[in-house]
Structure 1
Amino acid sequence: MEELSAIPVWLCIPFAGLLLSIAVMPLIKPDWWEKHQPLAVAFWSVLFIVPFAAKYGMFTMGETVLECVVNDYLTFIILLFGLFCVAGNITIDGEFAGSPRINTALFVLGTLLSSVIGTTGSSMLLVRPFIKMNSWRKRKSHIMIFFIFLISNMGGCLTPIGDPPLLMGFMRGVPFFWSLKLFHILIFNMIILLTLFYFLDRRAYRKDIAEGRKPDIREPGTHVRIVGLHNLIYVAMIVGAVILSGMLPGMSAFQNADGTVKGIHILGEVTLGFPSVIEIVIILLAAFLSFKTTKEEVRIRNHFTWGAIQEVAVLFIGIFITMQPALMILKANGAELGINKPFEMFWATGALSSFLDNTPTYLVFLTTAGALGFKSGVVTTLGSVPVKMLEAISCGAVFMGANTYIGNAPNFMVKSMSDENGVRMPSFFGYMVWSLTCLVPVFIIDMLVFFL
């Protein structure tokens, strides 16, 4: 597959077309889009697959598509599915209503929780409680937007558990607790964004109150009871499965004589590694046990349906397939971009992580940094990387996944679940207006304060 290094840029057109469809079709043909998303995904996927097969051959095409579906998409969607199922069996009962103070306080807890159980785990666990406690409010879409900013993205920067790029760094020699060095950057950004959120939410809250809206409770924030709390055991199982999938490939028992990971051979060089199989089995077992041990009435109170996970599964298989040319071009030319300063790494990693999978993007720039010949810094299997540069790459990959709905796994899921529960979320471009207005200024400050 060496000839793929010369892959033409025009093969990226289907990826751009699919992103444009996701952005535009809900605005101009919402009913058609809701019913025919699989058709649109199939169209753009075929529009990539056929020219790719014509240029490189059927075998290479099959190998390329299977590689991304088996080793990227499958573990991605199984993880999302497992957490979606388990979190759907946890609900909050009682007199608990969203207000600026309560929302802000829970954002602090949720953001920090993301580094403990991952951004996906924290998002799936908290998205329904946030929607439920603010259900009485009319103006609430900004709450879920900041939810994506903080809980679904930034909060995952402190540990390899928090976000997949950091897990890949850990697998390549970055110390497990190294990313705690990003704590001061996270707190800095949280202070800025939560201050902005508080005043935006207070303004919206006062307008809702002035219109006579109020929660049907006597004392907001009291008499709270969490139902289905035992499901946290299954959340822990899923988190443990993710950690195992990152650690097992480095053990000799899971390696062939040539150092490759043992697994189930699919086609050519495509192999589903045994660590991934173990991860999938544990996650599916956790989801099964969660449903078997939780009463159906909990899911009914949560308004649990399969719509959100179905939409994400359909859209993201198309995204994973059609984005392959863009990732290949980036991998082949990343070292030639002339990016060798921390602030350049921050913006390059972040900008591409906003639209591509942030894990391979992180690895491209980590590899690039390791090959620059630095003699000091964090020692990895890819070479020594200066601390400030590694901080820039890590923050770019984790933070800027919040720039678009497709920048990180839980973003679109949170949007889907919000839409499904009556929260009018902005369109693809509408969301980007929020990220450009609220996040990009923060990232500029980050660059000036931490990465110059």
Structure 2
Amino acid sequence: MGQAGITSTEINGILGGHQTVDDHHSGGSGSDKPLLLGIVVLLVAYAVASVAGWTTSPKAAADTHAAAEAHHDAALAHDLHDEHADPHAGEAHGDHGSHPLPHPWAVAPFVLLLGSIAVLPLLKFTEHWWESNTNRLIVSVGLAVVTLIYYMTIYEGASMGAAWHRIDHAIMGEYIPFIVLLFSLYVISGGIRISGDLKAHPTTNAAFMLVGGLLASFIGTTGAAMLLIRPLLETNKERRFRQHTVVFFIFVVCNCGGCLLPIGDPPLFLGYLQGVNFLWTMTALWKPWLLTNILLLILYVVVDKFYYYPKEDAENVLRDEVRTTPLRIQGLWPNALLLVGVIFSVALLDPTKPLPGIGWYPFVYLREIVQLALVGLSLWLGSKQVRNENRFNYHAIVEVAALFVGIFICMQPALEILNEQGPSLGIDTPMKFYWITGGLSSILDNAPTYLVFFKTAFPNMDAAALNAAIENTSGSHYINLVAISLGSVFMGAMTYIGNGPNFMVRAIAEESGVKMPSFFGYVLFFSVPILLPILGIVSLVFLL
């Protein structure tokens, strides 16, 4: 690459005078005392509420569920009585009983929110405005409020109760566990530093992705991504062409690597909560996991070695070759142990399932409280110097929190329509489950999308019947669940909004000076031409 033409004087100038883009970003997380104080206050409040009996006990939850079922049965009986009296009553209400479907136009706020995420960063007069998480939150919450107003005013069953039901389902039931888990993994893994500057060869970067793809199933895609994205960026800081490396990292570490265990990716965790055996994903999905990630890593090495790496400036290559330091891991104590604690909290503290061996049902939100307590321990016991050297801050997780609070509310009409009409859409083969689940996971959050099609494939099936059905590897239930699982996990990588870690990695990369592709650029130039053909190969090999 023309390195021989560089003189020793030029070499000294390169090594002594170079300043990377990273140098312009202030590092460190600032004072964590307010956050620690907030966590302590929350823990004390939860303890007081538990002692006072204000937290929902398992028995109360069961009683509430039974009462809700009884109310639903009574409402259904009443509707049937009315239909006998008026044969056309069912037509007027669309045969949806006490839960009428939202009008298709109710998905407009969701479409507008997706459009904002895709378009506002591209427009000159909104580009910098959109960089503020406050402004993102304004747009996100504003459109969520529009959705809730629809449920209070225009919706066929309009009432405050209808709006609160969506808040309870989307925020209390899904968003809070989702964001607390991501926050816990983000903060705790941010206290571990893998430092060093290796030679940024294609195989070196592929090795980072390989390790991340292996870790993703065991510490979650968020944990693996937060642990490895910073050393990957540090290794590549001398290179000019880094965008594609971060995108492939999103493909492998943030998504496709996380399908071996339920803790790897949120959709599979929801399947576990529905009764799927903990190790079913390992036995059923390891072959597609292996093929997908091998193909992605091979393709990355080929693209980087033969297209991007030869385009690097000779000075950048020389700087990268000379400026090397061995890898060093700091902050394993106490953070590695705390990450294990997060994993166990996810696996064991499910309020709908008894703790193994003792039969006690955890209180609602105990899992999230434990995770926040582990965050507090990480901030208290961990090294502040390590976080400062990591240039750790909360910008990326705040961006995810700001956008997804609106996404979870705004997508409720779309999910309700899909949930009701899904069985009538003719989705009855593995290929259909794979591509439709995957396609919707690309634009909806992949966790609730998984759940919708899980319910479509396994209606009214208890855990015992479910596991009996999916253990039969030659049966349709087995292959359909494989298709739903692969589609939701793998195609969460098709867009930035398909999976939470995608956003966080993008934000961290941009803070480090990497100009990441826009929403449309990511789809048009990376996920469609690169990822989609590989996912097509996977479907032909395993789902036909």
TM value normalised by structure 2: 0.74
The residue aligned with 1:422 is 513
Distance in 1 separating the partners of 2:239 and 2:323:
16
Distance in 2 separating the partners of 1:308 and 1:285:
21
User: Which of 437, 440, 451 is residue 349 of structure 1 equivalent to?
Assistant: 437
Aligned sequence identity (%): 40
Within-5 A mapping of 1:330-409? 330-371=418-459, 378-379=467-468, 386-409=477-500
Matched residue SS, 1:339: coil
User: Which of 133, 139, 145 is residue 46 of structure 1 equivalent to?
Assistant: 145
Asked whether the equivalents of residues 377 and 387 of structure 1 are also in contact (C-alpha less than 8 Å), the reply is no
Within-5 A mapping of 1:50-69? 50-54=149-153, 55=155, 56-69=158-171
1:225, CA displacement in angstroms? Answer: 1.2
Asked whether the equivalents of residues 419 and 456 of structure 2 are also in contact (C-alpha less than 8 Å), the reply is no
The residue aligned with 2:28 is none
Distance in 1 separating the partners of 2:310 and 2:222:
32
Q: Which amino acid aligns with 2:489?
A: V
Asked whether the equivalents of residues 370 and 385 of structure 1 are also in contact (C-alpha less than 8 Å), the reply is no
The residue aligned with 2:534 is 442
Distance in 2 separating the partners of 1:229 and 1:200:
34
Distance in 2 separating the partners of 1:400 and 1:421:
26
1:294, CA displacement in angstroms? Answer: 2.4
Within-5 A mapping of 1:34-433? 34-35=131-132, 36-54=135-153, 55=155, 56-180=158-282, 181-202=284-305, 203-215=307-319, 218=322, 220=324, 223-230=326-333, 231-246=335-350, 248-251=351-354, 274-275=363-364, 277-371=365-459, 378-379=467-468, 386-433=477-524
Distance 1:205 1:404, change over 3 A: same
1:49, CA displacement in angstroms? Answer: 1.6
The residue aligned with 1:268 is none
Distance 1:398 1:52, change over 3 A: same
Q: Which amino acid aligns with 1:334?
A: G
The residue aligned with 1:30 is 127
Distance in 1 separating the partners of 2:266 and 2:476:
19
1:217, CA displacement in angstroms? Answer: 6.5
Distance 1:199 1:441, change over 3 A: same
Distance in 1 separating the partners of 2:140 and 2:316:
44
Distance 1:237 1:133, change over 3 A: same
1:154, CA displacement in angstroms? Answer: 0.8
Asked whether the equivalents of residues 495 and 519 of structure 2 are also in contact (C-alpha less than 8 Å), the reply is yes
| Deviation string, structure 1 residues 251-310 (Cα, Å, up to 9, x no partner) | 289xx9xxxx97xxxxxxxxxx825x2211221111111111223221221111222122
Name which one, 1 or 2, has greater alpha-carbon Rg.
2
Asked whether the equivalents of residues 172 and 380 of structure 1 are also in contact (C-alpha less than 8 Å), the reply is no
Asked whether the equivalents of residues 95 and 217 of structure 1 are also in contact (C-alpha less than 8 Å), the reply is no
1:365, CA displacement in angstroms? Answer: 1.8
Matched residue SS, 1:410: helix
1:96, CA displacement in angstroms? Answer: 2.6
- The number of residue pairs the alignment matches comes to 433
The residue aligned with 2:11 is none
Asked whether the equivalents of residues 89 and 299 of structure 1 are also in contact (C-alpha less than 8 Å), the reply is yes
Gaps of 5+ in 1: 263-272
Distance 1:372 1:389, change over 3 A: farther
| Deviation string, structure 1 residues 74-106 (Cα, Å, up to 9, x no partner) | 111111111121122111233434321111122
1:420, CA displacement in angstroms? Answer: 1.3
Asked whether the equivalents of residues 354 and 401 of structure 1 are also in contact (C-alpha less than 8 Å), the reply is yes
Matched residue SS, 1:4: coil
Q: Which amino acid aligns with 1:426?
A: P
Asked whether the equivalents of residues 238 and 316 of structure 2 are also in contact (C-alpha less than 8 Å), the reply is no
The residue aligned with 2:35 is none
Q: Cα RMSD (Å) of the superposition? A: 2.7
Asked whether the equivalents of residues 208 and 228 of structure 2 are also in contact (C-alpha less than 8 Å), the reply is no
| Deviation string, structure 1 residues 410-438 (Cα, Å, up to 9, x no partner) | 11111111111111110111111111111
Asked whether the equivalents of residues 378 and 386 of structure 1 are also in contact (C-alpha less than 8 Å), the reply is no
Q: Which amino acid aligns with 2:468?
A: V
Distance in 2 separating the partners of 1:12 and 1:377:
32
Distance 1:92 1:447, change over 3 A: closer
Asked whether the equivalents of residues 173 and 379 of structure 1 are also in contact (C-alpha less than 8 Å), the reply is no
Asked whether the equivalents of residues 174 and 379 of structure 1 are also in contact (C-alpha less than 8 Å), the reply is no
Matched residue SS, 1:226: strand
Asked whether the equivalents of residues 95 and 218 of structure 1 are also in contact (C-alpha less than 8 Å), the reply is no
| Deviation string, structure 1 residues 332-365 (Cα, Å, up to 9, x no partner) | 1111111111111111111111122222222222
Asked whether the equivalents of residues 276 and 466 of structure 2 are also in contact (C-alpha less than 8 Å), the reply is no
The residue aligned with 2:85 is none
Asked whether the equivalents of residues 495 and 527 of structure 2 are also in contact (C-alpha less than 8 Å), the reply is yes
1:216, CA displacement in angstroms? Answer: 5.7
Q: Which amino acid aligns with 1:184?
A: K
Q: Which amino acid aligns with 1:442?
A: I
Distance in 1 separating the partners of 2:315 and 2:493:
32
The residue aligned with 2:106 is 11
Matched residue SS, 2:496: coil
Distance 1:404 1:250, change over 3 A: same
Q: Which moved more, 1:410-419 or 1:171-180?
A: 171-180
Distance 1:40 1:177, change over 3 A: same
Asked whether the equivalents of residues 197 and 234 of structure 2 are also in contact (C-alpha less than 8 Å), the reply is no
Matched residue SS, 1:386: helix
Distance in 2 separating the partners of 1:283 and 1:366:
27
Q: Which amino acid aligns with 2:232?
A: F
| Deviation string, structure 1 residues 186-233 (Cα, Å, up to 9, x no partner) | 11112221111012222322322535444466484x632111122111
Distance 1:240 1:48, change over 3 A: same
Distance in 2 separating the partners of 1:240 and 1:185:
26
Distance in 1 separating the partners of 2:202 and 2:407:
36
Distance 1:252 1:75, change over 3 A: closer
Asked whether the equivalents of residues 469 and 478 of structure 2 are also in contact (C-alpha less than 8 Å), the reply is no
Q: Which moved more, 1:202-211 or 1:144-153?
A: 202-211
Asked whether the equivalents of residues 4 and 328 of structure 1 are also in contact (C-alpha less than 8 Å), the reply is no
Q: Which amino acid aligns with 2:145?
A: V
